[in-house]
Chain A
């Protein structure tokens, strides 16, 4: 089957095509070199439209235990957002925590074709994969949470060599069918189980006596030596704590020599200046990111309204739970692996702190120079539901619109942010970078995020509109693997997605070692922890990501 998208303005920065007048030809689901029209090929006229590769979100909490716990706890979200779809759905709803089905539909209605769950716990990985298998129209993958797992902390504290650590990480990634390693509050989640309430970068945690710096370094080395495509995906120490900018800057300095991805940096860019002891650290953080080419970030933009925060960082969520709105929350210590905390939250534009969080996120987007190292996220649902992306895109592309929103915030917020002075407006090229080209490159997805021959036929046509929010909210056309799934912003077909996973090689001796660990400590057989290929996506198995040691 051949599909031609013609007459559009192509924005494919990965291939160097910016506002290029060219056809995109897809044969049997993959993009092929342009060729003379053939009878029988399906032609989409994209005149007046902007053509991009399918969107890729590399940090969005869409599946697994904490998401389902959030659905259970925050029934208000589901009640407020009933089934919105047409004939293709009978099982959707929710906004901060949509059902699996609605997650796929809502993402694909915005032109996204791949989304990554950034905090999959080993013990809960099978569940996360079961949920992901039920998300239609988008490809998925999970990042394995390491660095608070007792097995790893024990190896590290006992002074095991880097080879053993690497083997452990490789074994765990393969066993859980993960595609990257996430490090959440290094050592902090474990510390909270021993009643530690905070843990800074160079503080020794309880029991193991390990500093977050040491844990980070060991995992960075492991990920590098195993050749995983994505560097350590770090949710750093002290999330949400005023003054945490110092820790974040120190973390960047500590990463010298290694690639590092800092997740939802907005939550890690707070100073302590001013009469309210809460200020923007965005300028300092942006300067550090600009100066360290091996560092990338996603922002975790905050938007006003009701949401739910869901994180593996129970230490931080315990701190936050007194701000829960509505006033309820749930936490869980999980299986010598990590934890989770789910806290409903309402960001109010009348709040100084929330207003400044909003401004800090935008400052970061606008002050970090290289769009290839900043990814568009709200840390869904923690900063806001992902459905706010079109609005966020307009805030980035449209200064008068941004200024009008800033003007609605209180004078105290405006006095504390330099946002009003920033002239930058994102171009369509930059939007194409931060929403598809850059995340694809960062994750090692060689055939995604671009429209060059060899790429998968994930393609979006947006109707040109000076209202960028309207433009990005309802694409004219979305193709997934070359087949139409969205037309004029509405779902017209459902397709099963795929799941990415890596399988770095690991010393077979690790099997025996892990069997012993699971028997003695966990009370579960290692062989039952391990997830087989046939358990992924209803028997179809994962798409293997290549490791380059």
Chain B
């Protein structure tokens, strides 16, 4: 994923260019919204100084110039690539917009493009979001934002795998040792348990592990809900007779006594056949706990501003992602407009991704327009490639944190001449005769 020319640890990048140290930067990569990052910038080169491994890789830039726009593999001026993109879009009858990894302005630009040319829209990281929406849209839930978790949570239940791998600084941010409203916290891992580094990090807290194999999470949560409703293990036909049943019964007691229990999971990482069931059970348990006490869900997710993409879709079109915008009407059908499905009937793919060099999904039934990270490596050369800047590196921008409430301002770190995705989209839309 690292840009080939990016490894550069000398102090001087371009000859004579001074090095600037930038602090307290907000991060838009995984959705956790850390905002204490630090980088050193020399000319075009960006060297991360304080960042998690994921952010370090994605922030790093070399001193060399980024590639220019290409049409059919040939380098062309930006204006020419914009015209070519507009021509392809104008000729298309079933366009798919994928990726959607960009800031709010970029998303607005893509929405405008969809209104002008017609397209279905989905984000590359929306799988987990839709697993959560299955519950949120059908029954709803009670959720908490990050600061509520930080200040109040006395029992944290992690469902599934340790979130550390996907959200590097989750525990550091969510359960710091000192909290406003609670003196002690209990961390419960219901699933595959904490990694060693997590165990170290949580040393100050009480740790409870309830091992559950991934395929059994739904049943385990059903059992926990039954205990909380005062029903016994009997109705589970023996499935909860052993250690798991005892653990869950104990957990139910712990939760009943909790002042503010929070349930977290990463829906994208839950085993596919029962992911929705797990989310549904967790929300139901929280609903049950709120009858007499307080509890909330905190669904993990939000990589590459997928939460922001969904928010923009909602206020622009009144629908979540996976929506077709066709002329003056828009239609939401998650089964039809998920990228992989929509591509089956598509005649054009516009892949927009400004956060990471993620190649577009495989597509051969029509032209591919890539408004993409400059380091993107393509399996086949797109008809149009316009390298765009990364929000928080090449230009300022706004992204949503995973809780959907806090939006963060990303800063411009350098000027490498890369355009904003928003400006490219606006230029395509404004193209004459398209």
Contact = CB atoms under 8 A, between A and B. Distances in A.
B142 interface: yes
B406 A525 contact: no
Contacts of B407: 124, 126-127, 130
Contact of A85 (B144, B294, B328): B328
A334 B111 CA distance: 28
Given A127-B405, A521-B147, A528 B26 contact: yes
A68 B259 contact: no
B143 interface: yes
Contact of A101 (B142, B148, B316): B316
A530 to B, nearest CB: 9
Contact of B409 (A97, A123, A528): A528
B284 to A, nearest CB: 12
Interface string A69-94: 10111010010001101010111111
A193 B330 contact: no
A127 B311 contact: yes
A49 interface: no
Contacts of A194: 181, 259, 294
B181 A207 contact: yes
A538 to B, nearest CB: 9
B136 A334 contact: no
Interface in A187-236: 192-195, 207
Interface string A309-337: 00000000010000000001111111110
Given A101-B316, A328-B140, A83 B328 contact: yes
Given A91-B325, A127-B400, A332-B142, A98 B137 contact: no
A123 B319 contact: no
Contacts of A527: 24
Nearest to A327: B139
Interface in B104-124: 104, 108, 111, 115-116
Interface in B294-333: 294, 296, 310-311, 314-320, 325, 327-330, 332
Interface of B is mostly: mixed
B184 interface: no
Contacts of B327: 90
Contact of A329 (B140, B150, B314, B318): B140
A72 B320 contact: yes
Given A90-B328, A99-B317, A522 B140 contact: no
Contacts of B189: none
A333 B145 contact: yes
A72 B312 CA distance: 11
A94 B152 CA distance: 36
Given A134-B315, A528-B26, A523 B405 contact: no
A240 interface: no
Given A71-B318, A94-B318, A525 B325 contact: no
B253 to A, nearest CB: 18
Given A523-B150, A524-B35, A89 B400 contact: no
A269 interface: no
Contacts of A453: none
A380 B148 CA distance: 28
A71 B141 CA distance: 15
B146 A523 contact: yes
Contact of B137 (A75, A93, A532): A75
A335 B145 CA distance: 6
A130 B318 contact: no
B408 A528 contact: yes
A72 B311 CA distance: 9
Contacts of A520: 178
Contacts of B398: 126, 130, 535
A98 B202 CA distance: 45
Given A90-B328, A150-B180, A134 B405 contact: no
Contact of A195 (B293, B317, B409): B293
B192 interface: no
A521 B115 contact: no
A158 to B, nearest CB: 13
B260 interface: yes
A75 B405 contact: no
A430 interface: no
Given A93-B317, A94-B318, A334-B405, 15 more contacts: A65-B405, A68-B311, A75-B332, A78-B319, A90-B327, A91-B115, A99-B316, A99-B318, A328-B139, A332-B143, A333-B143, A334-B148, A335-B145, A342-B140, A525-B26
29 contacts: A68-B315, A72-B136, A75-B137, A75-B332, A90-B328, A90-B330, A91-B115, A91-B330, A94-B318, A99-B317, A100-B315, A123-B145, A123-B147, A124-B406, A127-B311, A192-B294, A194-B181, A207-B181, A330-B143, A332-B142, A332-B405, A333-B145, A333-B296, A520-B178, A523-B146, A523-B147, A525-B26, A525-B35, A528-B35
Interface of B: 24, 26, 33, 35-36, 104, 108, 111, 115-116, 133, 136-148, 150-152, 173, 176, 178, 180-181, 259-260, 290, 293-294, 296, 310-311, 314-320, 325, 327-330, 332, 398, 400, 404-409
Interface of A: 63, 65, 67-69, 71-73, 75, 78, 82-83, 85, 87, 89-94, 97-102, 121, 123-124, 126-127, 130-131, 134, 150, 192-195, 207, 318, 328-336, 342, 520-525, 527-528, 532, 535
6 tightest A-B contacts by CB? A90-B115, A330-B140, A78-B318, A126-B407, A335-B147, A331-B142
